[in-house]
Amino acid sequence: MGNNVSVGLLGLGVVGSGVVKLIEDHQEKLTHQLGLDVDVKGILVRNLEKNRGIDVDPTFLTTNPEDVLHNPEIDIIVEVMGGVEEAREYILKAFAAKKHVVSANKDLVALHGPELQEAASRNNCDFYYEASVAGGIPILRGITDGLSSDHIRKIMGIVNGTTNYILTKMNNEGISYETALKQAQELGFAEADPTSDVEGLDAARKMAILCRLAFSMDVELNDVEVKGISNISLEDLNYGKQLGLTMKLIGYADFSNRKLDVNVKPTFLSDSHPLASVNNEYNAVYVYGEAVGETMFYGPGAGSLPTATAILSDVVTVIKNMQLGVTGNQYLEPHFTKKLKGSAEKFAQYYVRLHVKDEAGVLSKISTLFNESNISFKRILQNPMKENKKAEIVVVTHQTSLESFHNAMNQLHELEVVYEIKSHYKVEGDAAE
Amino acid sequence: MGNNVSVGLLGLGVVGSGVVKLIEDHQEKLTHQLGLDVDVKGILVRNLEKNRGIDVDPTFLTTNPEDVLHNPEIDIIVEVMGGVEEAREYILKAFAAKKHVVSANKDLVALHGPELQEAASRNNCDFYYEASVAGGIPILRGITDGLSSDHIRKIMGIVNGTTNYILTKMNNEGISYETALKQAQELGFAEADPTSDVEGLDAARKMAILCRLAFSMDVELNDVEVKGISNISLEDLNYGKQLGLTMKLIGYADFSNRKLDVNVKPTFLSDSHPLASVNNEYNAVYVYGEAVGETMFYGPGAGSLPTATAILSDVVTVIKNMQLGVTGNQYLEPHFTKKLKGSAEKFAQYYVRLHVKDEAGVLSKISTLFNESNISFKRILQNPMKENKKAEIVVVTHQTSLESFHNAMNQLHELEVVYEIKSHYKVEGDAAE
């Protein structure tokens, strides 16, 4: 290593441009920390002619991946191209060429993280991917370094900015899901095809990555149960307000008795929960550790420069490891064999909204039915409806197992005084509950 | 290094006991991460007979510091004894004996951090002190590693749990400062002599430590301007509620044009600011980076086990460095020569509460006076008072320099329609303002 370390980029989109800009703008700080310069030599692009609004030496641009992957001057590959198969192939080639890799690619890391980590290790290379979860928030370091001595028991994350923006707008401005989605698209917070965000898949990828690191277990994307936000109605948000509850799309992971429950679901949070006031496009990850208790990491979950700071912090770590001669030491065998909780082992409170016959004794019948599944109520709201002889009932239960809750829901369908189960959501309080 | 690394403790109070307990309880995780066992061999105490409610091999206890500092089996010294001079002496001896040190001692690090860091480096030893700021929150790592590539511009911290508890109680329950302090003392959130907490000195120590790491500048404790919370009245908190402002004791640091402003002051935060909803004894540090934007790290600022997790995470880092043979590499010369901002370079909004004559034209006179200092009003509240011919006026200004604000305050004292300036506080909005 001489007076500089050179980085090669795979991709020069929004995040890639941010990386180039940050390396230039923050060179003084990098040089101070590392005692050498960091520069970019070689960028894989699809189109050599495209104007990206940043100054790049055009001789560094190439459409041939080998020009970057086998450039002997390049030590570190930054993968910001997205997609899965091609990215995986290039990264494996990079490791084979003894180059370190920093990736922002959550799809790839969620699907192939363990394979890539193992390949890195085998080649004495570093593989970091802080930017793949919650953009600019240093949450992976928080878990692996900051809380390294603790037993992490629970993670709850607002790890998708698009859905948080939509839910915040619906909640604060009383606009519909469709209108809020359209606004998010106009502002660039949602993509033209928003499916992966609004249906929770993007959040699920991040939860798989978080769980692996937090619980030292080979969690796969398929282990994450997913439900999106596209069916959420303003009626439920308004009832939430009356009950002191705020709706968020929560990535939830609970590890106890050496078994894991991990899912992504729209969830009502008690207003006093630290995540409840995380608004707009912001992300936050709440981590509950046995010894440390409640912690939360908050910040921007996406964006060119925030994501680039996470990538560049990984680059700084790699360069320090290179200088100390200690690259390739991250890989840790999972400590626990994967075991997932069954529905009798998953506990939560629930919110249920029902349309029922507006007649005497209805609430008593419903309450009896829940009691038979050992579920008791914490809160009840009942309103007459405009339609004749119809009432709307909202209940919030005490803690119950998912099994009991499913059981009660099935029986509720059969009860003749119930017209319809309009909605039901998990409710999470603060840790004290 | 064999199959284990041994730790020596200086002190076995609340935090020391937590460290012993955590090393025992989390041994499995430590062994998995490190491939070796961690144990405690040697604890310096003042009183061998005292019952501490934990199981410790009594042969490890000693009242002679040399037994710990020169025990050849001990590689890492954990300093949790508190105080300054003795702790400094022992730590310097530890480095001379080539032992690594992890400290939770904010008083010591605030006063002698650079000297100790330098001594560590000279002896190829590690010196970490994550627990000295904001207890269980991994904020020092967040700044030095997570945001290593960014230019940090602003830090705002709720870094003292005692004062946050008192202010939360006053605000939520409408009780006086004295009553809230008494409750905090009964619950163990405040000490019998609460001066160092309530007058802001404890927070100032933490800000000095944070500033050194965030801004790479030799900030000293004396550079931190300090004002405490003991004069805060319920009247001001209530006006704050009307104005959408919450009072917090904020450690504030602003670095721009290569000059620093650092202080600890009771501050009104806009309710939408991420720190405004940090309540009770919790701590949080808000960090604004040029590229990343707004981030926040939240968690418990004190307590036996939370603080012990931070200490033990440092111990894990030291052991990893030992295994890789790379200890003693943390020290970084400050990048910037210390320059502090003058009052013409410090900008904020201000809240001012006045008692004035209740007669026509008063507000106009006051407003004219502020305008002459180039200060304009953002919000005004005026209420008649029970006392005859007296009114209470509260104003919130737009951004102004501290110099202009002082100027206006001095002139306000002279204005004959003003009976008294009851209070004035800095106001901080969200980053967007």
Q: B94-120, pLDDT tens digit by residue? A: 999 999 999 999 999 999 999 999 999
AA letter at A284: A
Last residue in a domain, options A324, A357, A382 = A324
SS3 content of chain B, % helix, strand, coil (to 5): 40, 30, 30
- Chain B residues in contact with A293 by the CB 8 A cut-off are 136, 299-300, 303, 305-306
pLDDT in tens, A156-214: 999 999 999 999 999 999 999 999 999 999 999 999 999 999 999 999 999 999 999 99
B74 - beta bridge partners? B6
Chain B residue closest in CA terms to A324: B326
pLDDT of residue A51: 81
Nearest 5°: phi and psi at A318? Answer: -60, -45
pLDDT of residue A1: 67
pLDDT in tens, B382-405: 988 887 789 999 999 999 999 999
Chain A residue closest in CA terms to B283: A295
pLDDT of residue A388: 78
Domain count, chain B: 3
> Is B11 one of the annotated binding-site residues?
yes
| Ordered alpha helix ranges (H), B266-361 | 304-324
Q: Are residues A216 and A247 in the same domain?
A: yes
pLDDT of residue A433: 39
Asked if A297's CB is within 8 angstroms of B149's CB, the reply is no
Q: Can you tell me whether residue B111 is helix, strand or coil?
A: helix
CB atoms closer than 10 angstroms to residue A410: 10
AA letter at A333: E
H-helix or E-strand spanning residue B347: strand B347-357
In this structure, is the dihedral angle defined by the CA atoms of residues A413, A418, A424 and A430, taken in order, positive or negative?
negative
Q: Is B41 a catalytic residue?
A: no
pLDDT of residue B1: 67
Question: Residue with structure tokens 């001012």?
Answer: B352
Radius of gyration of chain B (CA): 24
> Is B142 one of the annotated binding-site residues?
no
pLDDT of residue B342: 97
Q: Are residues B153 and B112 in the same domain?
A: no
- Chain A residues in contact with B292 by the CB 8 A cut-off are 136, 299-300, 305-306, 309-310
d(C-alpha A206, C-alpha A106), whole Å: 6
Q: Can you tell me whether residue A310 is helix, strand or coil?
A: helix
Asked if A308's CB is within 8 angstroms of B293's CB, the reply is no
Please indicate, yes or no, if residue B333 is contained in any of the structural domains: no
Q: Are residues B256 and B239 in the same domain?
A: yes
Chain A residue closest in CA terms to B273: A277
Q: Are residues A165 and A244 in the same domain?
A: yes
Q: Are residues A153 and A285 in the same domain?
A: yes
pLDDT at B302 over 50: yes
Please indicate, yes or no, if residue A331 is contained in any of the structural domains: no
Please indicate, yes or no, if residue B338 is contained in any of the structural domains: no
CATH number of the domain bearing residue B236:
3.30.360.10
d(C-alpha B283, C-alpha B307), whole Å: 12
Please indicate, yes or no, if residue A271 is contained in any of the structural domains: yes
Mean pLDDT of B130-143: 96
Residues B344 and B141: beta-carbon distance below 8 Å: no
Asked if B298's CB is within 8 angstroms of A297's CB, the reply is yes
**Residue A170 DSSP one-character state:** H
pLDDT at A105 over 60: yes
CATH number of the domain bearing residue A399:
3.30.70.260
Q: Are residues A356 and A420 in the same domain?
A: yes
Half-sphere exposure of A7 (CA within 13 A, CB side): 27
Q: What does the DSSP assignment read for B181-245?
A: HHHHHHTTSS-SS-HHHHTSHHHHHHHHHHHHHHHTB---GGGSEE--STT--HHHHHHHHHHTE
Chain B residue closest in CA terms to A296: B298
Q: Are residues A99 and A43 in the same domain?
A: yes
B329: nearest CB among A291, A316, A324 = A324
Please indicate, yes or no, if residue A334 is contained in any of the structural domains: no
* CB contacts < 8 A (A, B): 184
In a 10 Å sphere around its CB, with 0-12 CB exposed, 13-18 middle and 19+ buried, how is residue B37 labelled?
middle
Chain A residue closest in CA terms to B329: A324
**Residue A340 DSSP one-character state:** B
Question: Residue with structure tokens 């640091």?
Answer: B253
- B408–chain A nearest CA distance, Å: 36
Find which of B14, B29, B141, B150 to mutate to test the A interface (most A CBs within 10 Å of its CB): B150
pLDDT in tens, B264-294: 999 999 999 999 999 999 999 999 999 999 9
Mean pLDDT of B66-72: 97
Find which of B309, B311, B313 to mutate to test the A interface (most A CBs within 10 Å of its CB): B309
Asked if A305's CB is within 8 angstroms of B293's CB, the reply is yes
Average pLDDT along chain B? 95
pLDDT of residue A432: 40
Mean pLDDT of B48-68: 91
B308, B312, B315, B320 alpha-carbon torsion, rounded to 10°: -170
d(C-alpha A109, C-alpha A209), whole Å: 7
Please indicate, yes or no, if residue A332 is contained in any of the structural domains: no
Which residues of B1-158 form beta strands (DSSP E)?
A: 4-10, 37-44, 61-62, 74-79, 100-103, 127-128, 152-158
AA letter at B13: G
Asked if A313's CB is within 8 angstroms of B147's CB, the reply is yes
d(C-alpha B44, C-alpha B63), whole Å: 5
- A420–chain B nearest CA distance, Å: 38
pLDDT in tens, A246-290: 999 999 999 999 999 999 999 999 999 999 999 999 999 999 999
A149: nearest CB among B30, B216, B291 = B30
pLDDT of residue B432: 39
Question: Residue with structure tokens 């499916």?
Answer: A195
pLDDT of residue B260: 98
pLDDT at B331 over 90: no
CB atoms closer than 10 angstroms to residue A309: 34
pLDDT at B338 over 50: yes
Mean pLDDT of B122-133: 97
A272, A278, A283, A286 alpha-carbon torsion, rounded to 10°: -10
A189 - beta bridge partners? none
Nearest 5°: phi and psi at B147? Answer: -110, 25
pLDDT at B431 over 60: no
Q: Active-site positions of A?
A: 206
Mean pLDDT of B171-176: 97
Q: Are residues A261 and A215 in the same domain?
A: yes
d(C-alpha A249, C-alpha A267), whole Å: 6
> Is B10 one of the annotated binding-site residues?
yes
Write the CB contacts of A120 (distance below 8 Å, at least 6 apart in sequence): A95, A100, A101, A126, A127, A328, A330, A331
Q: Are residues B244 and B147 in the same domain?
A: yes
| Axis-axis angle for helices B27-34, B14-25 (nearest 10) | 70
d(C-alpha B233, C-alpha B170), whole Å: 9
* Residues constituting chain B: 433
Q: Integer distance in angstroms from the first to the last C-alpha of chain A?
A: 55
Average pLDDT along chain A? 95
pLDDT of residue B30: 94
Q: Are residues A100 and A156 in the same domain?
A: no
pLDDT of residue B430: 53
> Is A191 one of the annotated binding-site residues?
yes
- Give residue A395's domain range: 343-428
Q: Are residues A126 and A167 in the same domain?
A: no
Asked if B277's CB is within 8 angstroms of A274's CB, the reply is yes
In a 10 Å sphere around its CB, with 0-12 CB exposed, 13-18 middle and 19+ buried, how is residue A386 labelled?
exposed
Task: List the structure tokens of B54.
Answer: 């934990």
CB atoms closer than 10 angstroms to residue B359: 9
Mean pLDDT of A377-381: 95
> Is A15 one of the annotated binding-site residues?
yes
- B37–chain A nearest CA distance, Å: 13
B316: nearest CB among A136, A149, A309 = A149
CATH number of the domain bearing residue B308:
3.40.50.720
Q: Can you tell me whether residue B266 is helix, strand or coil?
A: strand
Asked if B22's CB is within 8 angstroms of A293's CB, the reply is no
B151: nearest CB among A29, A293, A329 = A29
Q: Are residues A395 and A316 in the same domain?
A: no
pLDDT of residue A34: 95
Please indicate, yes or no, if residue B41 is contained in any of the structural domains: yes
Please indicate, yes or no, if residue A330 is contained in any of the structural domains: no
